[in-house]
Amino acid sequence: MRHRIQWFRPILLIVTVVLFGHPPTPSEAKKPAAADLDCTACVSVGELDFALPGKPAHVVIVATGGGDYTSVSDALAAIAPSAADPYLIKIMPGTYIDNITLKSYVHLKGAGREVTTIQSAAPNQSVIVLNTLTNVAVSGLTITGGFFGIANSASSPTVLNNALTGNMFGMTNQNNASPVISGNIVSNNTNEGIDNFDHSSPTIRGNIITGNGRGILNSVDTAPTLVGNTISGNNGAGVRNVSSAPHLNGNLISGNATEGISSQGGAPTIISNTISGNGGKGITNEIGSSPNIIGNTITDNGEEGVFNLSSSPIMIAHNRITGNGAAEADIFVHPISAPNISFNIYDDIDGNTGVGLFNVKSDGTAAPAP
């Protein structure tokens, strides 16, 4: 057996020399597969936030020096992406003064929001425009200096791990848009951080939304889903809903200058959020709104925890609503409002036109009846 092994080794050496050009070193034997930056004409599925429909995508490099182009707009003008031929545009570190009109089947990927910035050439222009596009992604960028950081109409992009900052509006979604907006920092925009309008239904998940005029505005029959966001320190309301039906679940809405959540019209669903430390009311339900408010922690807000003003039927159940407004009640019920208030913890209530059972105070004794 020993002689057979010695006989086989020269053959193995010949094979490895043919394959490698020389005997493999230990580092070569363990070398991982080539990274995408080593591949000048292809891209892995993992690089794209939409599925590759067929052959691999092309890669285009935008860089201040040494790339294929020096601006994203020039790169887009030179390509014709399609379902069968999608593109990845990689933007290397640097600041690029540009106003970009994106195309379908393109992933615009910065080297990271810490090092790659797209800045509008003028404050009255949007930085990135998407109009009736499909299979689009924007990631790893700081987007700044425009009227809208991202202006999205009738498109459903993935917007991932960007910083939208220093714009009039961080991002607007209009005309039945349904993007996925995840892992972004949306900060210090003059008006809304995210503005959802005209039947849009974005998924807004895991973002930090802070220092804006208002955190999020939902209006004109929108139905966004807000999950796991931190919406704090905005100069107006954390979330403002007008004639819309958002679903809010598991968000931290705190430290905003006015209301945590304010609704007028529509039917929001507000479940398992922490709404605390806001300067005004925790939740305001104005004329015509009919929310379900279930399982939230609504504490230490400057005014009422839940304020019901001439609203449509409301369900308020399984919440902790305590420590709100020293001079205000935890819950306010307008004389012509009739919410169902059951299974909650609250210490005081102003108004008695509601209905409900099994509410207790912080000390475990019976709470005043609604």
| pLDDT digit string (tens) for the chain, length 370 residues | 434 334 333 433 333 333 334 444 333 333 333 334 444 445 555 555 554 444 446 999 999 999 999 999 999 999 999 999 999 999 999 999 999 999 999 999 999 999 999 999 999 999 999 999 999 999 999 999 999 999 999 999 999 999 999 999 999 999 999 999 999 999 999 999 999 999 999 999 999 999 999 999 999 999 999 999 999 999 999 999 999 999 999 999 999 999 999 999 999 999 999 999 999 999 999 989 999 999 999 999 999 999 999 888 899 999 999 999 988 999 999 998 999 999 999 999 999 899 999 999 999 999 999 9
Which tokens sit at 319?
């919440």
User: Which sequence spans correspond to the domains of the chain?
Assistant: 1-31, 88-350
Q: Which strand (E) or helix (H) includes residue 136?
A: strand 136-139
How many CA within 13 A on the CB side of residue 289?
28
Residues paired with 107 in a beta bridge:
88, 137
Buried b (16+ CB within 10 A) or exposed e, 52-82: beeebbbbbbbbeeeebbbbbeebbeebebe
- Residue 277 CB neighbour total at 10 angstroms: 18
**Measuring CA to CA, which residue among 213, 211, 209 is closest to residue 192?**
213
- List the CATH code of the domain at 88-350: 2.160.20.10
CB 319 within 8 A of CB 327: no
Residue 176 falls in which region: left (phi positive, over 0), alpha (psi -120 to 50) or beta: left
Rounded CA gap, 173 and 175, in Å?
A: 7
